[in-house]
């Protein structure tokens, strides 16, 4: 019995939902076990990008996914600026309302709206040239890194997740991955690829930390996100190069190896876990 295209798409969407939730649960566990200084880098490990490209490679084609990668790099750069928008908004809303949950909702809504307003025109006008997107992304990494690390000496706070928060976070990310795959199939792969860059994993962590700490404590937690995003950048570039040759399954494995190698190098250059523990005790 041959399945209809609609049934096949439904199965692919369901699989993407569970895969997204499982991966983010594993990353949450790893971030909890790591030192607070390393958690930002770990949370920048490709999750929505990796799964979005994988399932679009399955649903659409590896070649089409490779062609839209340059168009995802500037939206990735906007993700680096997302924490700045969120934390600044949180500080403003903290002076307006005493409700922490309203502060979190309004801060997330503001930062997300800014990201969408910046990213959507790039998709509409198909800004998909690597000679433009790569320099712009690297410039945003440098600017965000300088802004987030200027004069900061505070110890980064650690997010403590309840079981309920872990389940909701995994559910939220799973739904988002499903949405990305649906966009890539029904609208355009570039839409799916650009939306896959939205910082859904880190934004949910930021909201959990915001529920536990005041806004000014969030800057130290976010300051390694710009450098950590280089692992996603390397992942995307590897996908662009290997998907047409190796396919989406082997291509995903190769891209993840290069991305994890980048993450390990960043962690090494940022200081060993032992060194970080000493710093955090001061």
Please spell the DSSP secondary structure of 148-182, one letter per residue. HHTT--SPPPPP---HHHHHHHHHHHHHHHHHHHH
List the one residue out of 235, 263, 202 whose CA is nearest residue 53: 235
Number of domains in the chain: 1
The pLDDT assigned to 16 comes to 85
Structure tokens at 41: 């880098």
Query: Which region among 42-51, 146-155, 253-262 has the lowest average model confidence (pLDDT)?
Result: 146-155
Query: If you average pLDDT over every residue of the chain, what do you get?
Result: 83
List the one residue out of 65, 82, 16, 77 whose CA is nearest residue 255: 65
- Higher pLDDT among residues 260 and 150, named by residue: 260
Query: Is it the case that residue 233 has pLDDT exceeding 70?
Result: yes
List the one residue out of 222, 166, 196, 163 whose CA is nearest residue 39: 222
Structure tokens at 78: 């906007």
The pLDDT assigned to 205 comes to 78
The pLDDT assigned to 17 comes to 87
pTM of the model: 0.83
Interatomic CA distance for residues 219 and 228, integer angstroms: 15
The pLDDT assigned to 156 comes to 56
List the one residue out of 49, 62, 15 whose CA is nearest residue 192: 49
Domain of 108?
A: 5-281
CB 74, CB 136: distance < 8 Å = yes
The pLDDT assigned to 73 comes to 96
Q: What is the mean pLDDT of residues 230-238?
A: 94
Q: How many angstroms separate the Cα of 140 from the Cα of each of 121, 133, 176, 201, 229?
A: 18, 11, 25, 20, 11
Query: Is it the case that residue 109 has pLDDT exceeding 80?
Result: yes
Q: In which band, very low, low, confident or very high, does the pLDDT at 26 lie, cut at 50, 70 and 90?
A: confident
Structure tokens at 86: 């969120």
The pLDDT assigned to 281 comes to 42
Residues with Cβ within 8 Å of 97's Cβ and at least 6 positions away in sequence, in order, are 103, 106
Structure tokens at 208: 């959990």
């Amino acid at each position: 019995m041959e399945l209809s295209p609609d049934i096949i798409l439904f199965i692919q969407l369901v699989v993407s939902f569970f895969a997204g939730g499982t991966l983010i649960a594993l990353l949450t566990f790893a971030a909890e076990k790591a030192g607070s200084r390393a958690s930002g880098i770990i949370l920048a490990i490709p999750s929505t990008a990796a799964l979005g490209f994988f399932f679009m490679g399955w649903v659409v084609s590896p070649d089409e996914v490779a062609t839209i990668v340059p168009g995802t790099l500037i939206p990735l750069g906007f993700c680096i600026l997302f924490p700045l928008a969120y934390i600044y908004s949180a500080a403003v809303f903290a002076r307006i309302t005493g409700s922490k949950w309203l502060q979190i909702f309004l801060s997330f809504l503001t930062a997300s709206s800014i990201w969408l307003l910046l990213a959507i025109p790039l998709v509409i006008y198909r800004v998909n040239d690597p000679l433009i997107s790569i320099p712009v992304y690297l410039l945003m990494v440098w600017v965000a890194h300088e802004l987030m690390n200027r004069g900061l000496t505070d110890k980064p706070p650690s997010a403590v997740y309840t079981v309920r928060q872990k389940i909701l976070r995994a559910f939220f990310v799973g739904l988002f991955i499903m949405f990305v795959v649906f966009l890539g199939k029904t609208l355009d792969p570039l839409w799916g690829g650009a939306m896959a860059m939205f910082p859904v994993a880190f934004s949910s962590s930021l909201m959990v930390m915001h529920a536990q700490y005041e806004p000014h404590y969030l800057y130290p937690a976010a300051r390694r996100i710009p450098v950590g995003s280089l692992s996603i950048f390397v992942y995307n570039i590897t996908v662009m190069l290997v998907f047409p040759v190796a396919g989406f399954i082997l291509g995903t494995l190769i891209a993840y190896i290069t991305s994890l190698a980048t993450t390990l190098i960043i962690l090494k250059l940022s200081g060993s876990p032992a060194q970080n523990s000493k710093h955090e005790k001061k």
